[in-house]
Structure 1
Amino acid sequence: MTSLLKGVGFITGAASGIGKATAISFARHGAKALAIGNVNAMAIEEAASEIKKLFPDVEILPLELDVTKEQSIDDAVAKTTSRLGRIDYAVNNAGIGGSQALSADHKLADWQKVMDINLNGVWMSSRAQIRQMLKQEPLQPDSYRSPRGAIVNIASMYGIVGTPTKVPAIAYVTSKHAVVGMTKADAIAYAKQGIRMNAICPGYVATPLLKASTASDVMQKEIAKTPVGRIAEMEEIGDAISFLVSPLSSYMNGASLVAVGGYTVQ
């Protein structure tokens, strides 16, 4: 275990995928405690148990957390600070892909569900984290590289480009573009108060859900477009997020870190 991170992490959507990989990365890089949330109470308990076995010295607080409900978010932040004292690194990862219908065929209810989780949920979570961070002093008050807190919002490469013709996802693309814009606005607003905010825009990642579809013709064509010739492993994105909350990225604020294996630069 290294000591790159010394504080307390708070991660939404942490029962699996990028969220869980981020929790493991935080623990591996020295975080002393982690609050991990998910809407599925049993799944987050299982994830907490697994992480605790890997890192027995790290305190793990599992939280049943529904990011579409304001009170659930506020309660989760309150429980975290009551038990762990503070939140130094917050990652707003909870999200869904949603319908792949084109706009002309898209149902309003499907659109609203994506926005409720991917945009409103990220914003409400970030808001609660900002409110807490404004109350706390930096871990190292004498260091310009130690903020009151660092927040990373999970966007997507489809937060900076549109989807291919055969992968329509209008609501998802809209929500992720909005997350990038929201992160920029809040990063400017809270920079002088000692809160750093950045977004990360991953490409295709080998989550359990995506792995099941990599053999499809559509995904094979998408992988072929990626210069490195593969999709990302979850731990690669988790480590990129660890970098974004760490002192190594202390001069990054309002940025969107693109981790796509070269997909968007062609």
Structure 2
Amino acid sequence: MANLLRGVAFITGAGSGIGQYTAFALARHGVRQLAICDIRPEVLTTTRDELKKRHSDVEVLNIEMDTSKEDSVQSAVDQTVKKFGRLDIGINNAGIGGVAGQTADQELKHFQKVMDVNINGVWLCQRAQIRQMLQQEPLDPLPRGNRGVIINTASMLGLVASSPISAAVSYTTSKHAVMGMTKTDAIAYAPKGIRINAMCPGYVGTPLLLQASETGAMDGEIAKVPQGRLGEMDEIADAMVFLASPMSSFMTGQGLVVDGGFTAGCY
């Protein structure tokens, strides 16, 4: 199989879940230089070791990073460029679910924590990535080449409301904000050769969601998925590869929904 990807990738939330599987998928499809970032440095070791086990020629840079802190984000991007010389694929995946509940039940500190990570953190990462990408030449010639590709992990709840039964007002608000930011910056930087899109997963079998589903708490929501199941993490990672690759070269400012048909029915 010909490699779809090349260049340097930068992935937040890479210590587990979708971020980790995205790192595996990017390496499988040709990326050989990866900066993997997480607020939990101990989990990055697992991702790095598995990457090296699967692809002995992959260079991996582990970076402890708090996406909600401006200095931490800038330092992570600076470390990446110092190590690898450029940054071609930015995957802004780190996020938290926050405290569930409706607005009347929420405290400001809980709402603000979700905003700090899920929108402020994505914006800080995207800003630092854009600033670097504007300084570098495309790896491949235009129009299908680019100065860089950015993918922000939003959610199907960036497009529709959460159910009153499983209300998540903070999370849903933050993911709608990610979509607005993605569209606005995509239009602004398309003429500069930078593509920006969002990934919008549905219910996916991450460790956290699997734990909730074991208690039966997710049964009603999973029943609404036309395919009748949770998504697999590697299914989302494969879609990330598509967004990062030249196969999506005429696509920017979009949210790619991978949700088993949930939002098509929007029950």
Q: TM-score, normalised by structure 1?
A: 0.97
Q: Deviations over 1:246-266 (max 9, x none)?
A: 000000000010100000111
**Counterpart mapping for 1:80-91 below 5 A:** 80-91=80-91
Displacement of 1:48 in angstroms is: 1.2
Q: Distance in 1 between matches of 2:247 and 2:39?
A: 32
**Structure-2 residue corresponding to 1:183:** 182
Displacement of 1:2 in angstroms is: 4.2
Q: Distance in 2 between matches of 1:215 and 1:15?
A: 23
CA-atom RMSD, angstroms?
1.0
**Structure-2 residue corresponding to 1:37:** 37
**Structure-2 residue corresponding to 1:163:** 162
Displacement of 1:148 in angstroms is: 0.2
**Structure-2 residue corresponding to 1:77:** 77
Amino acid at match of 1:83: K
Amino acid at match of 1:205: V
**Structure-2 residue corresponding to 1:51:** 51
**8 Å Cα contact 2:38/2:44 also seen in 1:** yes
Q: Distance in 1 between matches of 2:63 and 2:2?
A: 26
| Count of residue pairs the alignment pairs up | 265
**8 Å Cα contact 1:207/1:234 also seen in 2:** yes
Amino acid at match of 2:40: N
Displacement of 1:94 in angstroms is: 0.5
Q: TM-score, normalised by structure 2?
A: 0.97
Displacement of 1:206 in angstroms is: 0.7
Q: Distance in 1 between matches of 2:146 and 2:139?
A: 8
Amino acid at match of 2:258: A
Q: Distance in 1 between matches of 2:85 and 2:45?
A: 21
Secondary structure in structure 2 of the residue aligned to 1:217: coil
Secondary structure in structure 1 of the residue aligned to 2:62: strand
Q: Distance in 2 between matches of 1:169 and 1:241?
A: 25
Displacement of 1:147 in angstroms is: 0.5
Amino acid at match of 1:45: T
Displacement of 1:3 in angstroms is: 0.7
Q: Distance in 2 between matches of 1:123 and 1:67?
A: 9
Secondary structure in structure 2 of the residue aligned to 1:9: strand
**8 Å Cα contact 2:40/2:64 also seen in 1:** yes
**8 Å Cα contact 2:155/2:200 also seen in 1:** yes
Asked if 1:102 corresponds to 2:102, the answer is yes
**8 Å Cα contact 2:101/2:166 also seen in 1:** no
Asked if 1:121 corresponds to 2:113, the answer is no
Amino acid at match of 1:189: A
Runs of 4+ in 1 over 4 A off after TM superposition: none
Q: Distance in 2 between matches of 1:48 and 1:101?
A: 36
**Counterpart mapping for 1:1-266 below 5 A:** 2-140=2-140, 142-266=141-265
Secondary structure in structure 1 of the residue aligned to 2:203: coil
Q: Deviations over 1:218-264 (max 9, x none)?
A: 41121111111111100000110110010000000000101000001
Displacement of 1:143 in angstroms is: 3.6
Q: Distance in 1 between matches of 2:15 and 2:211?
A: 18
Secondary structure in structure 2 of the residue aligned to 1:127: helix
Question: For structure 2, which runs of at least 5 residues remain unmatched after alignment?
Answer: none
Amino acid at match of 1:121: G
Displacement of 1:101 in angstroms is: 2.3
